[in-house]
Amino acid sequence: MIRTLMLAAALLVGSVLPMHADADKRINVVTSFSILADFAKNVGGDRVQVSSLVGPNGDSHVYTPTPADVKAIGEAAVVIVNGWGFEGWLNRLAASARNSSRGGKITIVEATKNIPALKDNDPHDHDHGHHHAGEIDPHAWQSVENAKIYVQNIRDALIKADPEGATAYRANGDAYVARLDALDREVQAAVASIPKARRKVISSHDAFGYFASRYGIAFLSPQGVSTDSEPSARDVAAIIRQIKSEKIPAVFMENISDPRLMNRIASETGAKVGGTLYTDSLTDENGPAPTYIAMVRHNIKALTSALAD
């Protein structure tokens, strides 16, 4: 009996070890949020093991790192972040990872390198703590054109961390950039199908600056509306006035989550109520935006169906 068990154990160990060896060959890549993780997976393919600090559906703005994150960063061959102050919690996390890791050497790559930055010139955005008027808007990935630069930066970082895989990373990167090119044209074609006068929405999102400047859909912020808690009559009146005076065809307001109120605003102004737009995070496998490409497609579909005549 004991002998059989030992045999079984030996077999088990024998069967597990080679897999371990295989897994160890893959390099550890840690990204700060799920969209970067999707880029890294597409470029790295089988050669990388990608994990994201802020998972799907998480909010990178207000994330609080855990001790497990310190460990993950310490063990990563390369850490890919957005930069431009998007991950405000990153510096302290990196410092504590440096203190606790063996070599004390952690490679952090900012994926927004070489992307022309837009100033965040939205003066109404005083309710979010994370960035203020005049600072750089960090949501550069919302333009597919910029996503290509993200991918190139990530490709270069992976090649630096794992020179043996250079050819694979280049091939994967080129293939993915080609898909992004097609996506970019797709978005432009979709926007072109919307009449020019209707290319504007009211949105509580502050993440569409790059999208707006690349594709020409204006994102107006609701004026004088506090985005947290229950809206007052004044908030609702302000939104209705703005929609009427600027003839805005659609409203994307996630902070007013009460569908009854959105319907009231819609029927009083004639504006359409748009669906969900995904900005800072992908959804999980079963959601409508499990990958970056799916996310952009989802958003443009929500926009075109709300703005079409």
Partner 1 sequence: MLYDALIAPFVEFEFMRRALAGIVALSIGAAPIGVFLMLRRMSLVGDAMAHAILPGAALGFLVSGLNLFAMTFGGLIAGFTVALASGLVARSTETKEDSSLAAFYLISLAVGVTVVSIRGTNIDLLHVLFGNILALDDTTLLVITFNATITLMVLAAIYRPLVIECVDPLFLRTVSRAGGPAHLAFLALVVINLVNGFHALGTLLAVGLLVLPAGIAQFWTRDLSPMIAFAIGAALIAGYGGLVLSFHTKVPSGPAVILIAAVLYVGSVLFGRVGGLIQRLFPGKHLEA
* C-alpha separations of 109 from 161, 262, 270, 281 in Å: 11, 42, 47, 19
Q: For partner 1, which is the closer residue by CB, 228 or 309?
A: 228
Residue in this structure with the two tokens 């594709």, named with its chain if needed? 215
Residue with Cβ nearer partner 1 (217 or 248) = 248
C-alpha–C-alpha distance, residues 271 and 267, integer Å:
7
Query: Which residues of this chain interact with partner 1, rule CB under 8 A?
Result: 226, 229-237, 240, 257-261, 263-265, 267-268
Of 65, 151, 147, 143, nearest to 109 by C-alpha is: 151
Min CB(231)–partner 1 separation in Å: 7
Q: Residue 119 CB, nearest distance to partner 1 (Å)?
A: 29
Is the CB of 92 or the CB of 264 nearer to partner 1? 264
CA distance 147 to 155: 12
Instruction: State the minimum distance, in angstroms, from the CB of residue 234 to partner 1.
Output: 5
Q: Is 95 helix (H, G, I), strand (E, B) or coil?
A: helix
Nearer to partner 1, 44 or 231 (CB): 231
Minimum Å gap between C-beta 202 and partner 1 is 16
> Residue 34 has which token pair?
């799920």
Residue (166 or 236) nearer to partner 1, CB: 236
Nearest-approach distance from CB 245 to partner 1, in angstroms = 12
d(CA 253, CA 285) in angstroms, rounded, equals 25
CB of 257 to partner 1, least distance (A): 7
Burial of 14 (0-12, 13-18, 19+ CB in 10 A): exposed
| Nearest residue to 44 (alpha-carbon basis) of 171, 182, 178 | 171
Measure the CA–CA gap between 113 and 81, rounded to whole angstroms: 10
Q: Which two tokens stand for residue 237?
A: 């009146």
The smaller minimum CB distance to partner 1, of residues 67 and 259, is found at 259
